[in-house]
Amino acid sequence: MAETGRSLAGREHELAVLRGSIRDGAGLLTLTGPPGPLKSRLLREALRREGVEALWEPADLLTPENLPALARLLRRRLAAPGAPRVLVLDGWERLGPRGAALVAGLLREAPAFAPGLTVLVTALRALRLKEEQVLAVAQGPAHHGEDGRERGRECGRDDTREDAREAPREDGREAPREDPREDGPSALQLGAAESGYARCDPLERLLWERISVFEGSFGREAVREVCASGALPAGVALDVLDRLAPLALLPVDDGDPGEERYWMPPPMRAVGARRLTERGDRWAVVLRHRRWYVKVARRATDWWQGGRQLDARALALLELPDLAAAMDPTTAPLSPAAETDTAVEIAVSLWFLWVACGRVAEGRSRLRHALALHPGPAPARALWLAAYLELEAGRPEDADPLLVQSWAAAVREGDDKCLAMLAHLRGSTALYQGRTEAAAAEFRDALEELAEYPDLGPTRQLCWTALALARVRTDPEAAQEALDRADVHSWAGRDVWADAWAQYARAELHYWDGEPGRAAERATRALREHLRIGCVSGAACAAELLAQMRILRGRPTTAAHLLGAADLLRSSAYEDGYRPARFCSPSRERSESALREHLSAGELRRAYEEGARRGLHALVAEP
């Protein structure tokens, strides 16, 4: 009854529906509900109880732009002999209409390549497809007391879906039934929310209205900072929150165990937003919301730079719906130009999320949007990030002019720290292009200028590791010295990203020393660490190096599995046309050449497809 240590007691109804859908081949079933891991946990438990293997595709590393490539890969994986007949699309709401179109296309074509395919989707709301069945999952306790059920219905909460459908109207006639494919809250839900709002006292109504500005889940500190002012002082706001929570909010368990977080369902948000606008307070609350999420972004950056990198990633992903809202200048109270500085500051603060944690396409899109509306010269650090994102997207030629612009802006602004960051980025660009001597020179320049504990961008540990990568194939002794210097600037958890690349560099050194066993061990560590933070380029490079070691140990099929999974990871995370770094290409070229000697073209293709189907997370667990 437990999944990842958390109880699913009281969820037997949802599990029964899911198990029935899996057994019967229901076509498309969407689990809807507030943000949090509960929907995914329910799916995993249902699959476990049925003993069914599923092809699991999370949306974390995807953007709408790379969905066509993903659709092609999914068709190939599902058409492979012995492929699962259950496809899970997890967190699909972030992909919008294109994500729904991908699902519709797969279902339409599935009889030809995957008969009996069942697609299970988790999302905040239904996809609104004709063949869709919807299972609403409440995030709070599965069973409520009688009073809790009654008050929940008054406020439009969908905790007890069947009760909400069958509730009679005040005139005694049957209420209209909801269409799960309807866009936004139904009239029934809005009416119930209005009724609940009317039953609240004035302070509860005021807080209800102000909370409606939150896009995702939020904690008590956010409520105090965003919603408390004027008639609702900070000392009172949290007491009012405790009264309002059972009426209009759902508890969410996606934060720290000791932190209470909530989510306001769409019907309550709609009612609150309309009343907030009518009261004339909307823009003031929106501005406080933006200022608060600037602080959240800065906190995440401080954690990343200070050694809490996994915590920083978790915080940024947890708060991303509201960080994204604050990064949109077009919703500014006065004009888009008035809030572009806020949008740019948040985007730059989250540099690690875009660059190191595999969300390159999303970062490029958000930063470009903010800079396009910026009324003055673009800040040096924003141009630095724009160049970094072009490089990570496989476009070094597009990064070069941005590097020049950023250098000029940094000189104009007197930003010496940014000049050091640019030296590292020029080195990274040269390394990507295979110009290792030029890369090593730039990394040395960066180390001369970089602060001991920089407040943004690469750490000294990362710079020393990058210097080792530039030297690993031409001067192994210099590479080892650089790795030793990197260790001086690291301790447990200091820079997980740099440590993952350092493991890759050590694997290269062991390989050139003729120690394939130790090289494989280091490459495996690098792969695990890169996957842990979500670094797509690092994980793919480590997988390709590990494939070489598997070939040397007489395991060509396993090596081909790794290459197929690396291809899938890259094509899922990046737009079409991504070109892997030349620095990493020798490993791939050597592996492919060796595999052609061991496997026929058909065997190689099937091995690639099998690796893509299983994915790097599963393959790295193999001995």
Q: Amino acid letter at 568?
A: L
In the CATH hierarchy, which fold is given to the domain comprising 377-478?
1.25.40
365: left (phi over 0), alpha (psi -120 to 50) or beta: alpha
Q: Which residues contact 365 (CB under 8 A, 6 or more apart)?
A: 63
Q: Which residues contact 177 (CB under 8 A, 6 or more apart)?
A: 165
Has residue 591 got a pLDDT over 50? Answer: yes
Rounded to an integer, the average pLDDT of 558-562 is 94
Q: Which one of 3.40.50.300, 3.90.550.10, 3.30.470.20, 3.40.190.10 gives the CATH number of domain 2-136?
A: 3.40.50.300
Give the least confident one: 107-111, 319-323, 436-440.
107-111
Q: Amino acid letter at 123?
A: A
d(CA 88, CA 58): 8
Rounded to an integer, the average pLDDT of 402-408 is 96
Q: Amino acid letter at 569?
A: L
For the chain, percent of residues with pLDDT exceeding 70: 87
Q: Hey, how many other C-beta atoms are within 10 angstroms of the C-beta on 328?
A: 17
- Supply the pLDDT for residue 226: 97
d(CA 92, CA 108): 18
pTM of the model: 0.75
- Supply the pLDDT for residue 207: 97
- More confident of the two residues 253 and 295: 295
d(CA 586, CA 463): 23
Tens digits of per-residue pLDDT, 44-72? 999 988 888 888 888 876 777 677 778 88
93: left (phi over 0), alpha (psi -120 to 50) or beta: alpha
Mean pLDDT estimate for the chain: 85
Bridge-based pairing state of the strands 118-123 and 6-7: unpaired
What is each CA distance from 551 to 411, 517, 567, in whole angstroms? 50, 12, 18
Reduced to 3 states (helix: H, G, I; strand: E, B; else coil), residue 225 is helix
Tens digits of per-residue pLDDT, 70-79? 888 788 888 8
- Supply the pLDDT for residue 490: 55
What is the CATH architecture assignment of 146-170+183-280? Orthogonal Bundle (1.10)
- Supply the pLDDT for residue 126: 86
- Supply the pLDDT for residue 4: 40
pLDDT band at 208 (very low <50, low <70, confident <90, very high): very high
d(CA 300, CA 324): 14
d(CA 241, CA 234): 11
pLDDT band at 256 (very low <50, low <70, confident <90, very high): low
Tens digits of per-residue pLDDT, 149-203? 333 333 344 433 333 333 333 333 333 333 333 455 778 888 889 999 999 999 9
